Structure formats: C-alpha cells, structure tokens
Amino acid sequence: MDPVAAMTPLEVIMKYPGPWLAWILPMLGALSMPLFERLGTKIRDYAAVAWGLTSVLSAASMIPWLFSGNYPGDIKLTTWINFPGGSPLEVGVLVDPLSIIVCNVVAFISFLILVYSTEYMHGDKHLTRFWFFFLFFIGSMLLLVLSDNLIQTMVGWEGVGICSYGLIGYYYRDAKERWLGGPPPHKMFPPSHAGMKAFVVTGIGDVFILGAIFVIFNYAGTLNYVDLIATAHQWLPQIAAVPGLLAVTAIFFLGGPIGKSAQFPLHEWLPEAMAGPTSVSALIHAATMVKAGVYLVARMSPIFYLGTWEMHLPEAQVFFIVIACVGAFTCFMAASQALVSVELKKILAYSTVSQIGYMMLALGVSGLSEGAYVAGLTAGVFHLMSHALFKAALFLGAGSVIHAIHTIYTFNMGGLKKYMPITFILMVIATASLAGIPPLSGFWSKDAVFIACLVANTPLSLTLLAVGAVSAAMTFFYSIRYIKLTFLGHESKHIEEMEQHGHHPHEAPQIMWVPIAILVGLVCVIGLLGLAGFFVPSLSPELFIEHLLHDMLHHMGIPLHTHHLEFPTILTAWGTSAAMLLIGGILGWLFYLSRRVDSWEFVSGNSTLKPVHTFLFNRWYMNSTYYKVFVYGLIDFAKAVFATLESKVFDKITAFVSDSTIAFGKVIHVFETKVYDPAINVGLVNFFVEGGKMLYNDFEFLLDLSLNRGVPATMTGLHNQVKKLQSGVLSYNIIYVVIVFLVLILGFGLTQMYGGI
Amino acid sequence: MEAYEMAIPYSLALVLLVPLVSAPVVYYLGKQMGKKVGWVATLPLIVTLLLIFSLAADVNGGGSYSESYGWAPEAGLTFGLLADGLSIWMLITINVLCLGICVYSTTYMEHRFEEEEHQTGVPTPNSAYASYYALYLLYAVGMLGTVLTTNLIQFYLFYELMLVPSWALINNYGYGERERIGMMYFMWTHVGAVILLAGILSSYWITGSFEIAALSGVVGSPIAGWVAFAILIGFFTKMAVFGIHIWLPYAHGEAPTPISALLSPAMIGIGAYAATRLVIIPMFPVFQTFSVVFSFWALLTLVYGGLMALAQDDIKRFLAYSSVSQMGYIFLGLASAAEYGVSGAIFHYITHGFGKCILFGVAGILMAQVGTRSIKEMGGLADRMPWTTVLCLLGFFTIAGVPPTMGFMSKFFIFSGVFNSALSGSPIQLVIAFVSIVMTVLTVGYSLWTVRRIFFGPLPENLKDVKEAPLTMILPLLVFALFSVFIGIYPRFVTDYLLPFFANVF
C-alpha cells in the first residue's frame, strides 16, 4: 500500500471512508451523548439511533468490495509508536472479506438493537449513560474487527470489555428485582457484582493473550497481521526453536479468545452477564462481543496453519487441537446446563456459550488436517453470522417477554402464546434455527461445522464431531423446553396474579417486534438461499463465504489444499443432524409437548437423574469452586498474610526501629536527668561551690543551655518539640530545620571536597 | 550530548529558583492572607511548568539541554542541571501533579483544618496555611532538583530536601499518630539515604569524581557490585519494594491527603528514575548481573502489594499497598535491563503518577464529603457523586493498564522489555515473565472490587445527603484523567522522548 503511505491521514480517510468512519463515528457519537441530553431526552435517543445508522452505512459501503473481490487490504493511517531500530507501529485498518463480513454483521445487528432499545429502555432516567456505553461499544467492536494489528485490536478488545462492564452493571444500585440467580435458596448475584465478574474473568484471558503477544512481538518485531503472516516463515521457526515455547505461546494466545468468548474454563462470567438490560445481552453477550474471540482465532489461524502444514512445526498444531477440544467440550457442557436452567435469559446464555463452542470447534478442526482449513474457517465464520442473527432475535424476544411480565424465571411464565402471538411466532422460528431445523440458517451453518469435522477426518475430529452431535440433540431438547415453558401450557401463578391486579401481559410494541422480525426474516432468507444453493451453487451463502475466504487466503500467500466435497460426506453430516434432531425431538415431545411424562417427576423419582440434575443445575460446581478458590480463597489468603507476615514481622520491625529511636531519645533524657544532672550539675556544683560562685554561675548557664536543653531537644527526635500544629513558632521551626539540613549537607559536601575523604 | 542555546536563559536554574524563592514569600503572604495563599502558591508552579515545556522541543528525539554553574570550583564541583529524554517527562509529571494538587489543596486543607478546629476547638491561624504552602513548594523543589541534578553531592542534597519538607508535612498536618509515623517515614528513608551515601562515597573512592556521568568508571572495579547495590538499596527503600516497604502504608495512609497524592505518585517513583540515572545507565554491565534476582524480587513486590491491598479496609492504606504493587511493575521493568523495559518503567512512573494521584484525590474527596476512610462504611455513592465515580474508574483503569488509558501503553513497554530479556535469558526468567503478566489481573480485581464496594450497590441511609465535591477538587483530577486517556491514544508524546533516549544508551 505504498501510495497510501504517502498520503496524509485526512486523505487516507477521504479515500477509504468506510472502514474508518465505521468505528470513529459511533465513538464520537458516544462522546456527544451528554451534549444531546441538553437538547432533550427524545432528541438524544434519536441521535443515538442516527449515530448507529452512520456506522451501518459506513460498514455497508464496504460490501461492494466483497463482490468485486478487489478489496483494499491494509490501509495505514499514521505512525502510532516509533520503535527506534524497528518497524514502527502504525494505526491502520485491514479490510478483507473476513473483517468486512464480521463488521457488517456487527453494525447491522447493533443498529436493530439500538432501535429496539429506544422502546425497551424507554423511561429510564439514566439513558445518557446507556447510549454512551452502547455507542462506544459499537465503535470499539468495529475497531477490534477492522484493526490491522494486534495492539489496536487489544484496544478495541478492552474497550468492548469496559462497555460490557458498564452495561452489565447498568443497574448498579442493585435493587432486589435486578438480582440474578436463585431462585432462593440458591445464591443470587447483584448486577454490579456481575459486571465486575465479567470484567475480571475476561481480564484473566486478556493477560494470557498479552503474554503471547509479547512473545510474538519479541520474535517477529511487528504486530501487523499482514506482516506477521508474510514473515511467519522467519519468526515462527525461531519460537519453535525453544522447546515448548510455541505451544505455550499458542495456548496463552487462546486464553484471550477463550475468555472473551466465554469458553471453558473461563465461561462462568456469561450467565451472570445477563444482569444487564436484555437488549444489551442481545447485542454484547449473544450477537457481537462474545464473537470477538472467534474472530481473533480466525484472524490468527493462517499463521498457525502455515506453521503446521508448511513449516511442519508440530507445536503449531497445538493451537488448533486446543481450541477444537475446548470448543467441543464447552459446546457439550453449556448445552447440558441449559437443559435444567430456570431463568429464560440464562438458558439463552448457556446456549450462546454452547453455540460459540461449535464455532471454536470448526476453527479448531480446520487445522487438524491440511485439506480442512478452508472448510473449517468457513464453517466458523458462517456459524458466527447465522448465530448472531438468530440469537439476537431470541434475546430480543426474551426481552419482550420479560418486559411484558417482569420476571426472569421460566416457571413464572407459560401460556404467553395467546398474549404475545407475534413474539411467539418469531421466537419459534429463531429457536428452530438454533435447534438446526432445515431449511433455516442454523441448519446450514451447524451442518457446515459437521462437514468440517468430517473433512478433517482424523480420529480427534471425528470424536469431537460425536460430542458436537450429542450437543445438537441437547440443543433441540432445551429449545423445546423453553418454548414450552414460556409460551405454551397454562399460565403460571405469577401471570394469574398479574391479571388479578389488572396487568395483562401485552404484545411488544411495533418498534420492538419489527427489529426482531427483520432478524428472523434474514434467518429465513439465508436458510432458503442455503436450500437454493443446493441446486444453484452460486446462491449458497456458505459457498459464497468459502469463495471469499479462499480468495483472501490466496492473496495472503497461503498455499491451500482443498478437496472437492464428496456427496457422501454431505449425506453423513445431514444424517447426523437428522438423527440428533430426532433424538432431541422425541425426548422433548415426550416431556414437554405431549406431556406424556412429567419431567420433574421423572427426574426427581430417578436416583440416577436426580444427582445429574443437581450437578447440572449447579453448573457442574465450577462456579462455586472458582469462587471458593480464586475469590474467597485469595482474599482469605491475603488477609492471612496481612495478619501474619505483614503485621507480625514487617510491622514489628518498623515499630522496633521507630520505637527504639524514640526510646533512645528517652534513655538519653533519663541519663541526662537522673545521672548527668545529679552527677555533673549537682556533684560538680558541690565541687565548685567552694571554688567560686561566679565561675560556677557562668558554667551552669552554659551547660544548661547546651546540654540540658540542646541535647535532649535534638535527640528526642525533633518531634516532641513541634507537636502543636497551630503554633506560629512551629512553622519557624520547620523552616529552621530545613535550613539546618541544607547547611549540614552542603557543609558536608564541601568538607568532603577539601578533605578528599 | 549537545546543549542548545535557549530563548529563556537559565531555564533550569529558574525551575528550581522560582519555587525556592517563592516559598518564604508564600509564607509571609500566607500569614496575611490565610487560606487564599494556596492560589498564590500555584503561580511559581505555573512558571516552572511553562519553563519546562519550553525545553521540551529541544529534548525531543534524543536531544538534551543542560546548564552548569560553578559551585565549589576548587574541588571541581559544579552545580549542573540536565533535561533530556529521560528527565523531561519526570519533570512534567512532577510539576503537573504538584500544580494540580496545589489547587486541590486549597479546598482540601480548608476541610482538614476545619476538622482539626472541630477536634481541638482552637481556630486555625493563618500561619498554618502559610507554612503548609511554603513547605509544599520546598517539597516540589526537592523533587524537581533530584531529577535535574548532574552530580552526586547535589543529588544527595536534593534527595534529602525532598524528604524533610514531606516529613514536616506529615508530622504537622497528618492524621492519627502522625508524629510517630512521620518519624518512621523519616527514619526509613533516611536510613536508605545513608546507605545511598555510602554507595556514593565509595564510588568517589573509585572514580575520583562526583559527576553522575563518571559513575561508569566504577564498572570493572572489584567492588562495583557493592557500590551499585548500596546505591540501589537506597532507592529501593524509597520505592518500598518488598521487605522494605512497611513505612509506606503508614506514611501514605496518615499523611494529609494532598501530600499522599504527591508522596505516592510523584515521590516514591523517583527512586526508579534515580536507579536508572545512577546505576542502570552508567553501570549497565553491573546491573545486568542483578537482573534475574531483581526480576524475582519485583514479582514478589507486585504480588505481595496486590494481595495486601485486597486485605485493606482503609481506602488510603489500600491505595498505599496498591502503590507498592505498582512499584513492583516499575521495578520489574528496570530489572529486565532491556531497552523497552526500562523505558516502560519510566513510562509507568508517569502512568502511576497520574493514575494514583487521581485515586488519592478521590480518597480525599471521599474523606471530605463522606467523612470516612473505611470502605465498609461506604456504598452506592455513584448516585450522589457521579464525577467522582468516573474519576475513580479512570484512575483505576489507568493503573490497571486498561486501554484507552496510558497504563496500557506503559505496561505494554514494561512487558515487552521483560519478555525481551526473558526470551534471551534463562527459563526461570520466562516463568517470571509469564507469572508476572498473569498477576496483572490482580490489579484489575482489587480495583473493580473496590469501586464496586464504594460506589455501587444500594445507598446506605446515612449517606443520603452526601454531596459531590467542589470544582476545585474535581477539576485537577479530571485534567489528569483526560491526560491519561490522551496519552493512551497518542503515546508518541511520551515515547518519542523516551525511546530514542534509551536507544542511544543501550
């Protein structure tokens, strides 16, 4: 991009406005919110939506590049940090299919949720803060996606973390009805705690990734993605030359994505993140921020792919193996927790964790064999996109439900179908997509993940496929469960009580259900395109993404080995999906739809299932263990150290030092009054009494002045003398002390000079 | 190193002379004016800040500016002053903090004296204000002089000058057992200074000169390690690294809050600067041999400080332990003995200066407006004090290194250096590097936990009437916070001075 380098920053932005304005404008918008508040709350809300729109338009202006295939790549703006003797760190954006796709998904969904929020949050007194974080989030997220180097990505990465912190803890007054968890006697958590937890747990991931970034920076001397890939053949073998280092670097690097995307073992923050307003959960904790990890893994995967398959460094593959296993395990674990949760938003949160597990699995298997790379990457990105759409829709639908009946618990819902028909239909379609029912988008994207596993065709990838398949059955089961508990069956006591008080659950207003309808519409369109693509390949969204990513990787100079997809592979994947839908569906039908079996009676009456239920309900006891070890354990440890080492050892030393100084002063004083005074002043006096009164008087005066007063005054440590704050004399004393010190030091220095030591 | 002819002659001498001469003036004016004299005291600090800014252009990109005056020519002793890429940001930080905190003091000290009047029933005489601001200026001179100095005797003089007024300020305007704690503070840092003096004198024994530049002559001497170690121990006492940190929580806890806001951010970190100037640069080969041991010591300090912070309930002691922990990071950067690591340590001094100054400022606001230092007794204050909440968050983000604050940049450099030296060193260093970076999460943890306990949650009944602090307290802190964000977004303002300087040195 040499011609760009010669341009001024402003010219660069004028030439390529889209990728810059997409994140700069929402950030400016965030800062402008307090000003718009002055003009009135209505104007402020409209302004927030307008800023969101600018971001959508900027992002959309990049879409033509997708079709022309002639995207600009790395656009550098200006030097951020000059490293003497090294290549400078530039501020820049990387515009390629991966970033264009993700940033459009983010901007578009953000905008819909902004619109939804104007109604959902209506009447809240602190919306300026809400919009600030919301817009700043959009800006940071797009910065993260579009940036061309790791440090800038980290700035956006932490930026979205701050916004997530601010929005989860939005109801920081911790009023009882905002608490999450339970129901009592289970532990409940206030929103401010949840926000802190989210920031700290993801922060753990962040420090890991930073560790890896420093290793990479040290060897590669650059953090620009394009340069990193271009020079990988130089620095990657150098890291690999230190045994174990490349593996450690890969694992540390994955720490960041694992934390941000709420994967095992750093997944425990996401269920609590539901304490924020539901529109925030939809945006940050379902559609966008939690995908940042997936994006970053995809972004860095070419390097490790090169390491594994071109340079044949076995340790490079650790990157893929770890993320594949983590993804599959998380997928299973979170789905199992969703089976038993009683909070609607939390079920969706577990489901999000589980679905991100699929994306990670896809990205992981992409490196397990040489031919699976493009398929895996495509599956990851495709599922990211499709999940973002249907999960945002689901959360917004859940928000409408919670908005209508003011409860988070599914056992307080039920029978809402007749009150909220539109929401019901939209939720059912989105849920069907989540469950992977053909021909909706979720079916195709999940299918792509299975195909990627099959293409990789190693023992590990097939095992992980089995785990993913079991999770798919569980997905369908819990989908049926929450739809039934929320919308079908009889109204719960809670709703009946509401009705008695004259509050009828109402359908969401238009401004809330239209954004959901748009999302669901897209889910259907993508799904139908997928179906059409089966006959006319050029229409298939999956093949479109695959084609784009293939081109992108080709431009990066990555040698690719793609095989033609065999029809039996596709059939196997479909067969797996269908079988799992059947298993999940039959169980769901038995327990919830037909009500042949009462689920709770069945579980509580069974001596095997009861403990399993308890185990799942308690989140595999991971959350409580983490608290015990890392929170209470750490604080107790700190307190214990403070009570022992700090207070008993160090404190005593210092007390000894200062006390002994003071004591020394006192000893001198005692010596002076008890020994010296009687012996000299009295004894000597007696001795000299006969000698001459005149001489004695002079001598006594001299002694008294110099020793009786001077010595103790100095030795008792200056402080006894200067006790009274308000005495005017005191201030003289201080100045005097300072001057004496200066003179002493100066004199000391000079005598050293002349004496020459 | 070439010296440029300046538009303003004697700039550096004036940086020291203006506040020094102003101190007695402020004192006498203060006796007439009382509390308003705080505003007069800001004037000399504004002048010095402008003088320092006027030098900045000369120093950019590895340049330097120096002045030298005859002091004791017979002994070959000159009074030298030097501003270069290393010292310029130290000077700016110290000066900006002193200026901001001077404004902050005008309100805070009024509150402090009212509190005192309430306890003793004796009205505050004007001289109390007078001597506070006079000492304050002397303290500023001490810090600026320590940074500017070019020879060891002069250095020692300013180093002590930094100590004495701060001791007097703690002793007279502090809280609790202030005399005893003032004494403790004095003893610890003075003992440190004496060990430093031993090192300085033995270096003279070897090199025959008191010039800092001549210290490189120590390298190669059989006792070089001891000389370096003695000098360093003196500075480490000031920085309060693990084992010799115990004076710090007391001094910072009980000092009057504006002074805490200078002690912790501005003063203790000068130890790191001095270690760089006196040991790392001239005696680099000697320092390198300590690298591994010091890295471990630094790790211990940063973890220990963080853990102790978790165990505190008194907000000022909490911040004090957090300073110990942050000094651990600075120490870690120094110990890496790598270009980026040492640059990062100095950068982190600036970060910690601004960040911790905001936080102590917030602590002072809480003490003045809420009337307690106990975190347990607070809660839900975000409703009552939105600005303070934002400041507190930004302050914590700054020290925890969360972008877009400058803390992210300084920690980035520290850890670049740490990994740089660890990857070419032993596996144990690599372990230290990984462990220390993972431990940074401790900072985030104790920070947000404290924010939550003070500002979030329900507002207790007895705090319903708490009011937001006056503008004189908020505004300086807000300026610091904006500065932190600004440097975080555009770090070249700092790195373009620091990095070329160290590129020339290493």
For A671-693, give the DSSP string: IIIIIIIIIIIIIIHHHHHTT-H
Instruction: Evaluate whether A180 touches A343 at the Cβ level (below 8 Å).
Output: yes
Dihedral angle computed from the Cα positions of residues A310, A312, A315 and A317, in that order, rounded to the nearest 10 degrees: 50
pLDDT of residue A264: 86
For the stretch B262-284, pLDDT in tens is 888 888 889 999 999 988 988 88
Dig out the tokens for B336 from the structure: 């890496």
Q: What is the Cα–Cα distance from B478 to B471, expressed in whole angstroms?
A: 10
pLDDT of residue B6: 47
pLDDT of residue B171: 82
pLDDT of residue A682: 61
Q: What is the Cα–Cα distance from A51 to A26, expressed in whole angstroms?
A: 6
- Residue A351 CB: number of other CB atoms within 10 A? 27
Mean pLDDT of chain A: 82
What's the whole-number mean pLDDT along residues A347-371?
91
User: In the structure, what pLDDT confidence band is assigned to residue A703 with cuts at 50, 70 and 90?
Assistant: low
Q: Which residue has the tokens 């004796």?
A: B122
- Decide which of A625 and A432 is more confident: A432
A742/B116 touch (CB, cutoff 8 Å), yes or no: no
- Residues from chain B contacting residue A79 (CB–CB below 8 Å): 492
Q: What pTM does this model have?
A: 0.86
User: In the structure, what pLDDT confidence band is assigned to residue A726 with cuts at 50, 70 and 90?
Assistant: very low
Dig out the tokens for A428 from the structure: 């059912």
What's the whole-number mean pLDDT along residues B489-502?
87
User: In the structure, what pLDDT confidence band is assigned to residue A4 with cuts at 50, 70 and 90?
Assistant: very low
* C-alpha atoms less than 13 angstroms from C-alpha of B398 in its C-beta half-sphere: 33
Mean pLDDT of chain B: 86
Interface test with B, best of A87, A171, A196, A723 (most B CBs within 10 A): A196
User: In the structure, what pLDDT confidence band is assigned to residue A294 with cuts at 50, 70 and 90?
Assistant: very high
User: In the structure, what pLDDT confidence band is assigned to residue A745 with cuts at 50, 70 and 90?
Assistant: low
What's the whole-number mean pLDDT along residues A700-710?
52
pLDDT of residue B244: 82
How far CA A638 is from CA of A205, A646, B306, B441, in Å, comes to 23, 10, 9, 15
A757/B201 touch (CB, cutoff 8 Å), yes or no: yes
Instruction: Evaluate whether B202 touches B227 at the Cβ level (below 8 Å).
Output: yes
What's the whole-number mean pLDDT along residues A348-361?
92
For the stretch B196-254, pLDDT in tens is 888 888 888 888 888 888 888 888 888 888 888 888 988 888 888 888 888 888 888 88
The angle at the Cα of A732, spanning A728 to A734, to the nearest 5 degrees, equals: 115
Question: A430-434, A535-539, A612-616, B83-87: which has the highest mean pLDDT?
Answer: A430-434
Check pLDDT > 80 for residue A724.
Answer: no
Amino acid at A302: P
- Residues from chain B contacting residue A634 (CB–CB below 8 Å): 307, 310
User: In the structure, what pLDDT confidence band is assigned to residue A681 with cuts at 50, 70 and 90?
Assistant: low
pLDDT of residue A712: 43
Check pLDDT > 70 for residue A155.
Answer: yes
Q: What is the Cα–Cα distance from A584 to A480, expressed in whole angstroms?
A: 9
Check pLDDT > 90 for residue A570.
Answer: no
Check pLDDT > 60 for residue A468.
Answer: yes
pLDDT of residue A705: 53
Q: What's the gap in Å between the CA of B15 and the closest CA on chain A?
A: 18
Interface test with B, best of A206, A726, A748 (most B CBs within 10 A): A726
What's the whole-number mean pLDDT along residues A30-34?
88
What's the whole-number mean pLDDT along residues A113-128?
86
pLDDT of residue B1: 37
> Which helix or strand (DSSP H or E) is residue B217 part of?
none
Instruction: Evaluate whether A143 touches A288 at the Cβ level (below 8 Å).
Output: no
Q: What's the gap in Å between the CA of B63 and the closest CA on chain A?
A: 14
Alpha helices per DSSP H over B174-281? 178-207, 224-239, 247-254, 257-262, 270-275
pLDDT of residue B483: 93
pLDDT of residue B332: 93
What's the whole-number mean pLDDT along residues A498-524?
86
The secondary structure of B419-484 as a DSSP string is HHHHHTS-HHHHHHHHHHHHHHHHHHHHHHHHHHHHHSSPPPGGGTT--PPPHHHHHHHHHHHHHH
What's the whole-number mean pLDDT along residues A585-597?
78
- Residues from chain B contacting residue A639 (CB–CB below 8 Å): 310-311
Instruction: Evaluate whether B380 touches B453 at the Cβ level (below 8 Å).
Output: no
How far CA B26 is from CA of A713, A744, B13, B130, B145, in Å, comes to 29, 25, 20, 6, 20
A753/B499 touch (CB, cutoff 8 Å), yes or no: no
B310/A84 touch (CB, cutoff 8 Å), yes or no: no
Dihedral angle computed from the Cα positions of residues A346, A348, A349 and A355, in that order, rounded to the nearest 10 degrees: 150
What's the whole-number mean pLDDT along residues B285-298?
89
Check pLDDT > 60 for residue B260.
Answer: yes
pLDDT of residue B414: 92
What's the whole-number mean pLDDT along residues A704-724?
45
Instruction: Evaluate whether A39 touches A83 at the Cβ level (below 8 Å).
Output: no
pLDDT of residue A520: 92
pLDDT of residue A321: 92
Instruction: Evaluate whether B266 touches B97 at the Cβ level (below 8 Å).
Output: yes
A746/B397 touch (CB, cutoff 8 Å), yes or no: no
Closest residue in B to A207 (Cα) is B438
> Of the candidates A337, A187, A311, which has an alpha carbon nearest to the alpha carbon of residue A239?
A311
Burial B3-33 (b: 16+ CB within 10 A, else e): eeeeeeeebbbbbbebbbebbebbbebbbeb
- Decide which of B502 and B7 is more confident: B502
For the stretch B130-187, pLDDT in tens is 888 988 999 999 999 999 998 888 888 888 888 888 888 888 888 887 877 887 787 7
A642/B311 touch (CB, cutoff 8 Å), yes or no: yes
Kindly state whether B492 is in contact with chain A, defined as any CB-CB distance less than 8 angstroms: yes
Mapped onto helix, strand or coil, the DSSP state of residue A660 is helix
pLDDT of residue A404: 85
pLDDT of residue A144: 92
Check pLDDT > 90 for residue B3.
Answer: no
Check pLDDT > 70 for residue A733.
Answer: no
B438/A211 touch (CB, cutoff 8 Å), yes or no: yes
- Decide which of A327 and B194 is more confident: A327
Of the partner residues A173, A200, A208, the one whose CB lies closest to the CB of residue B445: A200
